[in-house]
Amino acid sequence: MPNTRIREDELIERIRRRIPSRPGGALRLGIGDDAAILRPSQGAEWVLSCDQFLEGVHFLTAVHPPEVVGYKALARATSDLAAMGARPRLFLLSLVLPAVRAGIWLEKMTSGMARAARRFSLTLAGGDTARSVSRRASVALNLTVLGEIATGHAVSRAGARAGDAIFASGRLGSAELGLQLVLRGIHRERRWRSLLVPHYCPELAIELGRWLAGSRLASAMMDLSDGLSTDLSRLCRASRVGARIDEKEIPAVSVPGELRARGLSSRALALHGGEDYGLLFTVSKRHVPSIPRVFGGQRVTCIGEIVPGRSVKLVAADGGTSPLMPQGWDHFRRSG
């Protein structure tokens, strides 16, 4: 039975025991005090981001295992550090939890988060906890992540210029394919289990981001979190440019024939599916030969070119062009 009378101090101690939180390196004082104390490295800048992970919006407790919830919550937030080329260092966890989730569910969730922390070399620096007592009591996680990068090396979305090549890492649409299996209730079929991995436990392009930033090859960069069509439009808007994408060059997920018959399109998943957490980046033409086709086991593909103007176009296999409208994830458009 869940422990509905657990004290907050006990809950914090259980989290501390499971997730790496020992002082050292950038962390002078961590979890258990009123605030964390950090020690920045000389010649470095901090890169800071936060991310929400909400029950009913980003995960379903009836479907997603708690280990997956913990892993993915931290992975999502850490992907923002990869997008800037930063080295992950520390994170804060704020947790809103109904009493019914304070037992075994919490133990498994923190185990998954601890696995992600080890995978991405992150240390827990502190956070906050609260009990959810509303009629629809649900879980809410807020992750604040901190990374480090050499002064002046961080890559933003705003540096793309006309003539730059556009690259994407990973295989686009893989995470959305897994999500669609979950939403259609066929994810428990053994034959589809391998297709769930990108949705449950996404791989991040941290080392690729650090290499691109350290070598100053990327002119603009961001993570692919909300779908290519949406994220590319954001990069172009920030850089005040347009883009042409070659549809046949997009590294799209392969969809088995039976799933295609159920309406799952490789093209739609690759263009509009979110949560792949690869990198979308631009490189000047003179540096294109320096970009490898594979980095750290992840595919790196040139998919188009930055052009003057503000429109984003998709070039089909027959040479015809059409506007690529942002149709990826948008919290407020979907909820509306």
Domain assignment of residue 31, yes or no: yes
**Is 116 in the same domain as 84?**
yes
**Is 102 in the same domain as 169?**
no
Domain assignment of residue 160, yes or no: no
Given 118, 150, 182, the domain boundary residue is 150
At residue 40, the pLDDT reads 83
Domain assignment of residue 333, yes or no: no
Domains contained in the chain, number: 2
Q: What is the CATH number of the domain that holds 188?
A: 3.90.650.10
**Is 146 in the same domain as 174?**
no
**Is 143 in the same domain as 185?**
no
Domain assignment of residue 282, yes or no: yes
At residue 2, the pLDDT reads 45
At residue 275, the pLDDT reads 94
**Is 171 in the same domain as 251?**
yes
pLDDT in tens, the chain (336 residues): 344 566 777 888 888 888 888 888 888 888 877 788 888 888 899 999 999 999 988 999 889 999 999 999 999 999 999 999 999 999 999 999 998 888 999 999 999 999 999 999 999 999 998 888 766 779 999 999 999 999 999 999 999 999 999 999 999 999 999 999 999 999 989 999 999 999 999 999 999 999 999 999 999 999 999 999 999 999 999 999 999 999 999 999 999 999 999 999 999 999 999 999 999 999 999 999 999 999 999 999 999 999 999 999 999 988 999 999 999 877 655 543
Query: Within 10 Å of residue 122's Cβ, how many Cβ atoms?
Result: 25
At residue 5, the pLDDT reads 61
Domain assignment of residue 200, yes or no: yes
At residue 44, the pLDDT reads 92
**Is 244 in the same domain as 107?**
no
**Is 108 in the same domain as 207?**
no
**Is 323 in the same domain as 221?**
yes
Given 94, 120, 150, the domain boundary residue is 150
| 240-258 as b/e: b if 16+ CB within 10 A | ebbbbbebeebbbbebeee
213's enclosing H/E stretch is helix 206-214
Domain assignment of residue 335, yes or no: no
At residue 199, the pLDDT reads 96
**Is 181 in the same domain as 230?**
yes
**Is 318 in the same domain as 174?**
yes
At residue 330, the pLDDT reads 72
At residue 207, the pLDDT reads 97
Residues 6+ positions from 286 with CB-CB distance below 8 Å: none
Domain assignment of residue 156, yes or no: no
Given 150, 182, 203, the domain boundary residue is 150
At residue 8, the pLDDT reads 75
> CA angle 112-59-201, nearest 5°?
40
At residue 333, the pLDDT reads 59
**Is 139 in the same domain as 173?**
no
Q: What is the CATH number of the domain that holds 76?
A: 3.30.1330.10
Structural domain of 113: 8-150
Domain assignment of residue 130, yes or no: yes
At residue 106, the pLDDT reads 93
**Is 114 in the same domain as 234?**
no
